[in-house]
Each structure stands twice: as C-alpha cells, then as structure tokens.
Amino acid sequence: MSALPRQPNTAGLTLLRTDTSESGSLDLMRLLTTITDNLVGMIFRCRIDDAWTMEYVSEGCFKLTGYRPTELTFNRRISYDRLTLPEDRERVTRIIREALAVGVSFEVEYRIRRADGFVCWVLERGVGIPDDHGNPRWIEGYIQDISERMAVDEMLREAVRRYSSLFDHATEGIFQTTPDGRYLNANPALARIYGHATTDSLMTQLHDIQRQLYVLPGRRTEFIHLMQTEGVVRNFESQVYRRDGSIIWISENARVVRNSDGSVQFYEGTVVDITERKEHDAALEHQANHDSLTGLPNRALMRDRIQQAIDQARRNGRMVAVVFVDLDHFKLINDSLGHHIGDRLLLEVAERLTSCVRGNDSVARQGGDEFVVLLSDQQRQDEILTVVSRLLEVISRPWSNAGEEYGISCSIGVSCYPQDGNDPDTLLRCADAAMYQAKDSGRSTHHFYTPELNEAISARLELENSLRHALERQEFRVYYQPRIDIATGRILGAEALIRWDCPGKGIVSPDSFIAIAEETGLITPIGEWILREACRQNAAWQRDGLPPMTVSVNLSPIQFRHSGLVESVAAALQDAALDPAYLELELTESFVMHDAERINDAMHSLKALGVDISVDDFGTGYSSLSYLKRFPVDRLKVDKSFVRDIDTDPDDAAIVRAIITLGHALGLKVVAEGVETAAHLDYLRTHGCDEVQGYYFSKPLPADALEALLRSGLPHSTPAALGQVTA
C-alpha cells in the first residue's frame, strides 16, 4: 500500500457533506474511520525521534501487535520501536533514515514480538512528512502482517535448497538439453559420468550430443523420435564416449518439457552409468553359452549357430557340415595321469581344432571329451573331407606335457545339410551316430553319416521316447547302498540310486539314460521323484521301528540350478513327515566349483531347511580350498577311482590320505566310495576314514532287501561280518 497523503491535524478535521444522491450526503469522516478500522493492518503516524513515538495508530493495531492503540500511542505502555526484534532494529532504522534523507518512501520487512510473545513478520511502508520549515518531522504509513507469505517463501526457499542439494549431490546424472543437442543444465554427477571435471567443462565442450557423445549417432535420432512420439523415454540404453575417449554404457530416462503454446522448451532427465551391469550381464551370458574350461561355445550356443548356418545355406544353395569329434581313450589318460592333466589335454585339443577352421566356422565343446566343429558355407563334400582329414592329422600329433610325450587320436563323425537333416538336433544326432561308427571301425578315423546308421539313431530315439513315459508308468525304482561307520560297523545311512525297470529291457543302468534325461530336461521331474520317494521310504522305515538313519540323494547340476529346488526339498520333507536331519543331498565336486558363489548361496538356503550336504566324487574336480571352507558341507565322499587301487598305487593312496586329512581339518566327515576288499577297508581304517560304502559290504539293494538287512542284526556286527553280505 502506498503512503498516506499528508493530512491536517486530526483535531482540525471538519465534517464534509456533499449531496450525492437523493438518499443523503457523504460522511467523509465516517468513511475514513470505517476504512482505517477494518484494514488488515495498521495505519500509523509517528514522530521522527529516538523512540519513533506513535501519535496515531488505527484499530488494526490490536490484531497486528496485541496492544490497544491507547497502549502504543505516545508510548503509554510500550513504544512500537521496542516491539521490533533487536537483531532487526538497527537494519530497520538504517533503511528508514536513508529514505528520509533523500525524501523518498521506504519499504522494509522485519519481525516484531506481539503482546502474547508470538513473533511475526511485518511489512512497513511509509513516507516522511515535513514540518512548516520543510524538515522531516513525522512518518505516516501502513504496517501489515506478512507471516504467512514469509512462511510460504521460506518453504519455497527450503524446496529450492533441497532441490539444489539433490541436484548437486545426486549419484545419477541430471540434465536439461535442447532438441538440437546442446546442454542447458547438468549436475556434477553427469560431469563425472562423462569424464569432465566440472559441469562448466561438460556444457562448454559437449555442444553436439549426437556427434560427440553417442557411439552410434543414430541413437540420438531414435531418442528424439521417442520424445516426439511418446513424450518420454525409459531405460534408453546406449554406448557413449567419455572425455578421454573410453566407451561406457548409460541408461537414460527423460521427458519433454513444453511451453504454454505446446512447443518444445527442452528435454530433461537422468543418466545412470550401467557399464558394470552390462559387463556382468555379458560375463553371465558368456558363462551360460561357453564351456568353463576351454572357453569354447557350449552345446546351446553351437545349436544356435548351426541353425544360423542352415538358414544361410538355404538362401545361398550351399552345404553345412556338422563334425562330431571324440578323443580316443581319453578316460584312460584322465584316470592314469589325473584330471588336471586331462584338462590340459582338452585345452590343447580345443586350440588345435580352432586352428583348423575359418573365421566363419565354429568349434564347441559338447561335454567331456566331445567337441563339435561347424563348417558353414560349403560347396562340395570333398571340401568338407579336406577339413576333416586335417582335423585328424592335427589331433594325432604327439602331445608334450611336463617333458613327457603322449600319443592321442580322435574319432570323427560327419553329417551334412541338406541331405542328412534340416535342423540342428537331427544333424547333431546323425554326426554322433557317425562318430560311433568311426569308433567301431577302429578309431582314429572318420565316418560320414549314412542312412544305414538310422538303426543306431532309432534305438536312441526309442530309448528317449521310453524314458519320457517311464515316470508316468512308474517304471523307476530306488535302490539303496548302505553307508557304514568304520568304528562301530553300524549302518549310518544309505545312498539312494535310481534304476529303470524298462519293459523288454529289464533293469537299465543309469549310465544309459541319465545323460539323455539331462539333455531332454527330464532329469528335473525324475530327480524330484527320487527325492520324494527316498524321503517317503525313510519315514516309512522309521515308522516301522527301524533305527533312524540318513538317506542321501544325488542332485544333478540341472536340478540344482532349478529355481524351485529349495521349495521342492521342503515339500518332499513335509509330505513324508521326515525330519530334515535324516536327509542328505549330494553334489559332485566339479559342479560345486563350477559356479561356487551362486552355489554357495543355494547351499545355505538348503542348510536352512536342516538337511545335510555332501560333496560327491571328491578329488575328481577342481576344488578350491578358499571356497570349500566357506561351503556349509557336512561330508566329503572320496571318489571310487582313487579307492580302487589304494592298496597297490602309492599315488592313489597319497591322494586318499590327503583328502581324509583335509576333510578332518575342515571339520567334515570323510566317506570312501567303492570299497570292495578287506585291504581297502584296512587302509581306510588305519588312516582315519570315518565312513565307507561299496560292494565289500553290500551292492545297492531294493528297499525291501535293505530293510531285511537292517532287521537281521548285521548293522551291529563287525565290518568283517558285513563284508560277507551280498545283494
């Protein structure tokens, strides 16, 4: 409100009446009184003295200050100047006197303490009034309460402070850019992400986003297109250059900000550096699609590449060859020299195979000592034969290791598109059948697939088809092989082993169908059935009065990787009403060490159920003590390949002793598998092995046969007596 115009002394005011209408005349005094009394604020006139003595204040004084006008005028109770907070008083006085000195009106905001002690903000506007000599004598003006506005202003300032803090200290990059690719604003995090020391450096040097930032300039075009059509982009991933030229991955979320007329004002959004996640994803993808030992593509990736080669050959009228390579007598090398030597040989073979093919061909490790070579874009069979002959020649070269030279060879089977099949699975099966034909022909040779080999393929397909129905037809059986406590001769537990009672074939060994079950995915439902049956049978034995014992169930890698494994184990225990303490889950050492971190987490989840965990085939894999000591493992099971010759082979004996010592050092029980002679038992007892299982005590038995064995009293007999038991 502007300052009041100068008025004569109120004592000299006269009542003016002016005829304005038939209803009467205007009472100016009443009008002024009404206005001053009802204003939201206080009109005042004060002297220019040290106390700023109020000569007149309007009725709004009470609502503003809590004091009656008579209490403030002429400082009868308190001077208005004393209501101003001390920390504001000097500033207010200075501003008013500076305005009076130059003859202008003033406006000042400050705080007063009301009569009730409450502090509020006020806005005072006023102007100096001179005396008859032209010297400022009074101030006339208006004071209003602005506490609400100041509170709103403070909230806005606080919001700005918070936004500025978030903007400056956010870990995500925040930006505003023009549609033509210039930065309007950027926070420090964005500068750091792009390798700039400051935001000024970023905005000065990075003035063409499309050409300077994106590795693929078309990504900016796509970004703009999404902005124009959708108004937003979400999780927009791109590769960009940092200031030093290095490349990183970013993910952007942004939106369009428009003017009131609908035109684009700018784009604003956030940027996150996802390079680490991308590298992790790439590593996981590589692990999922490549062999962990050789780094070659695995069967899944090779299958995809075969399909791509078939599609290309179909368009170009060319041939594709699938070459199945299997090392001859590799098991002998592995068993005699050790698995670490076998691994070195596999690495050498992978390198030799890769050296024989072109850049557009592929080499994959199928598993074990089996490799697959894909020869794409072939014109004639003689070209394929040339490569196959070279593969045989290169593989058959002597191999040196630690000063020793070894002779190796391989058997090769070949199938071709289009004559032998038009899909990856068919070509792989045909090449596999041809490879077995090469082995039957004396090894160290090759064989192309012929229709006559259909019989072998048909037999495998028949086995696979029968396997698919075996579970629903209840053809599987669980056999149990006892596990013996060396010290007492008691049966502590039993290992559950699957057998297939196939109509027309009799009992089929797991070696004949487990690999097929894993390839076809049937291993998961089969493994779950074994788990449930073993839990059910163990609970039934306990209900029938037999002493409680632990039953061990093997988990395949495929089954272990299944997301619902923990839930399946919990359900099997609950349905059987079996105490988890009487269930043990077995994993092979090589699998445990293949993906140790993730497997360790899964093990802890299983241990939380209360079950035991053992590492099977210990000594055959690639164990790392740094991992093994962290695993929640209860037992190590020494592989039977080491136990078989412990009484005649010093190396095997030393390995078994070392495993026993290692297991005990880690607080684990050690179980020896494949115990077949008294000499085996004596050696293991002498060197402190805890438990044993093998044919010396008992073959794997059907459930009723094992129950009879348990009831016969033999579990309480000596190990020597147990050695006389047969299946």
Domain co-membership, 205 together with 265 = yes
DSSP at 522: T
3-state DSSP: the chain helix, strand, coil percent, rounded to 5? 45, 25, 30
Q: Is residue 692 part of a domain?
A: yes
Helix (H) or strand (E) holding 236: strand 232-241
Q: What is the pLDDT of residues 223-252, one digit of tens each?
A: 999 999 999 999 999 999 999 999 999 999
Domain co-membership, 599 together with 500 = yes
What is the length of the chain? 727
Spatial separation of the C-alpha atoms in residues 334 and 399, rounded to whole Å: 14
CA angle in degrees (0–180, nearest 5) for 122-126-129: 150
Q: Is residue 577 part of a domain?
A: yes
Q: Is the pLDDT of residue 591 over 70?
A: no
> Where does a domain end: 279, 308, 340?
279
Structure tokens at 482: 């006892």
DSSP at 607: H
Domain co-membership, 48 together with 174 = no
> Where does a domain end: 279, 304, 321?
279
Whichever domain contains 580, its CATH number is 3.20.20.450
Domain co-membership, 269 together with 365 = no
Return the closest-CA partner of residue 57 out of 4, 19, 130. Answer: 4
Whichever domain contains 239, its CATH number is 3.30.450.20
Mean pLDDT over residues 155-161, rounded?
Answer: 76
521 vs 29: which has the higher pLDDT: 521
Range(s) of the domain holding residue 354: 293-449
Q: Is residue 465 part of a domain?
A: no
Domain co-membership, 334 together with 232 = no
Q: Is residue 161 part of a domain?
A: no
Burial letters 278-299, b for 16+ CB under 10 A, else e: beeeeeeeeeeebbeebebbbb
17 vs 185: which has the higher pLDDT: 185
Q: Is the pLDDT of residue 570 over 80?
A: yes
Q: What is the pLDDT of residues 446-459, one digit of tens each?
A: 999 988 777 766 77
Whichever domain contains 395, its CATH number is 3.30.70.270
Domain co-membership, 126 together with 203 = no
Domain co-membership, 433 together with 491 = no
Strands 491-502 and 635-638: unpaired
Q: Is residue 455 part of a domain?
A: no
Q: Is residue 696 part of a domain?
A: yes
Least confident of 156-160, 291-295, 598-602, 621-625: 621-625
Domain co-membership, 327 together with 219 = no
Q: What is the pLDDT of residues 407-423, one digit of tens each?
A: 888 999 999 999 999 99
Q: What is the pLDDT of residues 516-548, one digit of tens each?
A: 787 677 888 999 999 999 999 999 999 999 999
Q: Is residue 457 part of a domain?
A: no
241 vs 713: which has the higher pLDDT: 241
Mean pLDDT over residues 615-638, rounded?
Answer: 72
**HSE (side-chain half, CA atoms, 13 Å) at 686:** 11
pLDDT on residue 274: 93
Domain co-membership, 205 together with 232 = yes
Q: Is residue 632 part of a domain?
A: yes
Domain co-membership, 81 together with 214 = no
Residue pointed to by tokens 């069979």: 381
If one counts the domains in the chain, the total is 4
Spatial separation of the C-alpha atoms in residues 182 and 197, rounded to whole Å: 18
Domain co-membership, 314 together with 395 = yes
Least confident of 66-80, 412-426, 513-527, 582-596: 582-596
> Where does a domain end: 99, 116, 151?
151
Residue pointed to by tokens 């029968």: 466
Domain co-membership, 641 together with 525 = yes
**HSE (side-chain half, CA atoms, 13 Å) at 315:** 6
CA 672 to chain centre: 39
